[in-house]
Amino acid sequence: MANETVISFKWVEFNYDHRKPILEDVTFNIRAWSKITLMWQNWAWKSTIFKLINWGLKQLSWIINIDLNATIATWYQVVLPEDKELTVWDFFRKYHRDKTQFNIDKDIKEILDVVNLNAPLDRIIKSFSGWQQARLLLASALIQKPDILLLDEPTNNLDKDGIWSLTNFLQNYKKTVIVISHDAEFLNSFTDWVVYLDSNTKTTEQFVWDYNDVVEQIKRKIEKDNQANARLAKEAQAKKEQAEVFAHKWWKLRAVAKKMRELADDMEDDIVDTRKEDKTIREFKIPLQDDIWWVLLKIRQVTIIKNNKPTKKDVEFDLRKDDHILLSWPNGIWKSTLLEKIVNQSESWVEVASWVKIWYYRQDFSNLDFKQSVYDCLREAAWNDMTEQDLRSIAAWFLITWDIMKSEIWFLSEWQKWLVAFCRLVFLKPWILILDEPTNHINFRHIPVIAKALDEFEWWMILVSHVDEFVWQIRIDQYIDLD
């Protein structure tokens, strides 16, 4: 069974719009019990692959073979509207692999332990917070124990304990797993190889070795392709210029000129398609306000949830000039609530100077107005004397094209909303940055750029992140563990 092919893509093509193909000549095989990372570029439509595997999309131009006896489960990132009214028990009853089994309490408890969530079985799904619903969705896929398990960014909304539990589950899961994630440490702990989606050629490449090695291989291949292309283009141009000289000389040299043109054409044909859309956001600095030296933020008390009860805890926390704080937390202590109280200054134990400007990055982007156009959102944040040219130029640093600028934020992908949020950061010139898992919606290529900007930020910053690869690149002055 372990050597059998359970998924086979051969010459697969797909498009939503015939003028803009998404996939062309996509070919790869996945064997039973293998664990695969699906690696992507910007705009690579990674979720399209998942939808094709679980028959969520239909298209004529393909050959896809999937073991008809294999069961498939997908981790979705949003609870279906009809599921929000269900109790936890009914929710898992709906997705359990055995519809005839009524005594599923034991299975529910085991799978909730995997995602590190305490959820009473009679509680309604819609009453849970966003991160709790995300864990319930992950658990609903895991409880099916499918032959093929599809996971899209499963570590989002998980703390370190949750990631550890999920990793342990996947390491011991004796079936096929395909994961979309940028968390290198998580992926390297259990995946066998990588399928890489190239958004320019619309094809896939397969790599063995771990995630970090693949990143380095792709980087070297891009450099090699660019060097070869530059050499071929230079030689082709030289042949054309020489052919032009010969063509105007004695008639016997015209045949030589024709041959040189043919050689030049052959060289141009040998120029390979490099990843034209394989772009990173441009390196940027976060603009600063006037120099200030005194304490801008004081916290003297926090309320955490311990044993399902609110518990107040006295603390001595001052945020001073150029302080970079790393906040560590286990889910369940209402970390997001704490950050919201700091931003909104809604409690007496939080003191923030009235003139301090705070920029808060939220994972769900709920502090953006989804009905606004991207242009209006950015223009609203831009400083008064910013010209139209400067606004569009800075937006281009973040890969925001005019087509994106004209769109409502509601219609953007999570990755595009992330671009808008960080572009606004450059416009706003905040004194305090509060970032809650800022790498959740980006691929590996952008992590060093964001890390460098935050590392060089000279004012106050509170960072929450479980991605060690990201945190290691940023100067941290204080570490606060809320456990």
| Predicted pLDDT of residue 358 | 84
Give 199's pLDDT tier (boundaries 50, 70, 90): low
Is residue 286 domain-resident? no
Q: Which domain-ending residue is among 249, 269, 289?
A: 269
Let me know: does 154 contact 177? Beta carbons within 8 Å.
no
Is residue 276 domain-resident? no
> Going edge to edge, which strands form the sheet with 432-436?
358-361, 432-436, 460-464, 324-328, 478-481
Q: Which domain-ending residue is among 210, 237, 252?
A: 210
Is residue 350 domain-resident? yes
Give 253's pLDDT tier (boundaries 50, 70, 90): low
Same-domain pairing of 221 and 318: no
Q: Compute the distance between CA of residue 151 and CA of residue 136 in angstroms, rounded to an integer.
A: 13
| Predicted pLDDT of residue 165 | 84
- Segment 140-191, tens digit of pLDDT: 999 998 999 999 888 877 777 788 888 988 999 999 999 988 788 888 888 8
Averaged pLDDT for residues 412-433? 88
Is residue 186 domain-resident? yes
CATH code for the domain in which residue 174 is found: 3.40.50.300
| Predicted pLDDT of residue 276 | 46
**Domain of 320?**
297-481
pTM summary value: 0.68
Same-domain pairing of 314 and 417: yes
Is residue 166 domain-resident? yes
Pair of tokens at residue 394: 């800075």
CA 204 from centroid of its chain's CA atoms? 19
Is residue 280 domain-resident? no
| Predicted pLDDT of residue 346 | 65
Same-domain pairing of 55 and 136: yes
Q: Give which of 348, 341, 350 is closest to 296, Cα–Cα.
A: 350
Task: Characterise 85 by phi-psi region: left (phi > 0), alpha (psi -120 to 50), beta (else).
Answer: alpha
Same-domain pairing of 361 and 465: yes
Same-domain pairing of 20 and 169: yes
Same-domain pairing of 37 and 164: yes
Predicted confidence (pLDDT) at residue 59 exceeds the cutoff of 70: no
Quote the percentage of the chain above a pLDDT of 90. Answer: 19
Q: Give which of 37, 66, 6, 13 is closest to 207, Cα–Cα.
A: 37
Say how many domains are in the chain.
Answer: 3
Averaged pLDDT for residues 385-410? 90
Let me know: does 84 contact 121? Beta carbons within 8 Å.
no
| Predicted pLDDT of residue 354 | 67
* Most confident listed range (107-116, 164-173, 359-368, 369-378): 369-378
Average pLDDT, the chain: 80
| Predicted pLDDT of residue 281 | 82
| Predicted pLDDT of residue 102 | 63
